[in-house]
Structure 1
Amino acid sequence: MEEVTLVDEFDREVGTMEKMTAHREAALHRAFSVFIFNSKGDMLLQQRAVQKYHSGGLWTNACCSHPKPGENIMQAAQKRLQEEMGFTTELEKAFDFIYRAELDNNLIEHELDHVFIGEYNGLILPDAAEVKDYCFKSIESILESLQLQPHKYTAWFHIALPRVIEWVDIRKGIIVE
């Protein structure tokens, strides 16, 4: 039985719950999302395996998951990146956000999501049980695709992407208005 860490809106732990129960009951729990860019500034996208318990076949960021109760969130993010995409790289904590989204299979994501960003240019060896496909795309291309075909992307990707873009632009010294 896989458990998630329940938290309040300030990321203070308030208990644990079985993962599927948390997603059926919309219990706020801790999660993380990893965004990877290559040296050209293109973002790594993965298409979730069709058999995933929710959002199967949809495109999203490099990887997402939940840390195990008591697990260091940065280490959990690095471990999951290795498990799903077959590589590791240095990650930097960017920001946190809370979102709630109704998904397929009568599940609800209600997560306090810790977002990590890294750069990687090497070999990618995705786990076929987790990932159907992957590619690097420019931000402009992703934004255009999100407008034309929003149903092809995960709910959290729609919410996190503008914040990731803003964070990256600020890090590059570009003023976002």
Structure 2
Amino acid sequence: MRNVSVPDPAAITSGVRTVPEEQVVLLDDAGNTIGQASKAAVHHGDTPLHLAFSCYLFDDAGRVLLTRRALTKQTWPGVWTNSFCGHPAPGEAIIDAVHRRGHQELGASIRDVHCVLPEFRYRARAADGTVENEICPVFCALLDGEIAAAPHEVMDMVWVDWSQARTAAALDWAISPWAQDQIPLLEAADLPRWARPAA
């Protein structure tokens, strides 16, 4: 009978790299960090307050990019919204998170990133009962190069004039609840010259 050498299971798995579970920063009502939680587990019917951001991406012609969230997204799948959103990781500077998510979602490099609504906060409930509950600073940025959207993040996108974004925000069914609230506030904000809505 032949002796067969069986490898140590630990040796088999030791070379396998696992992707760490994405974490979000939990906040108290005053906006102070109080911990962290798994992004996948934190969104439910009683979502705790946590840190996020939204970004509106402009091109050199002054148009803004609207995107439609992929059907596989955990929250608001298939819904049109601003250019991209995300959650800073624990210990990650929010400006770094904006650049990271621009690349992850849109394959895009961005520049001239400005925080224009630093205190934006919202709570919204989706049709399936999932709640978003975020302190969500809002940024504007310029596209630097081309877009190659990740299909698991974005199922469609369109460049629009600001007037079209304003029209979408006025229709409850046309765009995400956070974009509905953000777009009118952006019109009154101190925006960079290239992001100012045309009269």
Give TM-score, length-normalised by structure 2: 0.78
Q: Which of 7, 12, 16 is residue 32 of structure 2 equivalent to?
A: 12
Q: Counterpart in 1 of 2:99?
A: 78
Q: Partners in 2 of 1:22 and 1:48 — Cα distance?
A: 19
Q: Partners in 1 of 2:142 and 2:61 — Cα distance?
A: 10
Which protein is richer in strand relative to its size? 1
- Secondary structure (helix, strand or coil) at the match of 1:79 reads helix
Q: How many residues align?
A: 171
Q: Which of 87, 92, 103 is residue 126 of structure 2 equivalent to?
A: 103
Find the structure with the greater CA-based Rg. 2
Q: What letter matches 2:117 in structure 1? A: F
State the Cα RMSD in Å: 1.9
Q: Which of 92, 99, 111 is residue 114 of structure 2 equivalent to?
A: 92
What are the Cα deviations for residues 96-140 of structure 1, in whole angstroms up to 9, with x where unaligned?
211100024321111000211111263211011110111110111
Stretches of structure 1 lacking an aligned partner (at least 5 in a row): none
Stretches of structure 2 lacking an aligned partner (at least 5 in a row): 1-20
Which protein is richer in helix relative to its size? 1
What are the Cα deviations for residues 52-103 of structure 1, in whole angstroms up to 9, with x where unaligned?
1121111111110111111111101100001101111121122221110002
- Secondary structure (helix, strand or coil) at the match of 1:92 reads strand
The alpha-carbon deviation at position 166 of structure 1 amounts to 2.0
Q: Which of 129, 135, 145 is residue 158 of structure 2 equivalent to?
A: 135
Moved runs in structure 1, 4+ residues, more than 6 A?
none
Matches for 1:43-54 after TM superposition, within 5 Å: 43-54=64-75
- Secondary structure (helix, strand or coil) at the match of 2:108 reads coil
Q: Counterpart in 2 of 1:155?
A: 177
What are the Cα deviations for residues 130-155 of structure 1, in whole angstroms up to 9, with x where unaligned?
101111101111222333x4313111
Q: Counterpart in 1 of 2:42?
A: 22
- Secondary structure (helix, strand or coil) at the match of 2:186 reads helix
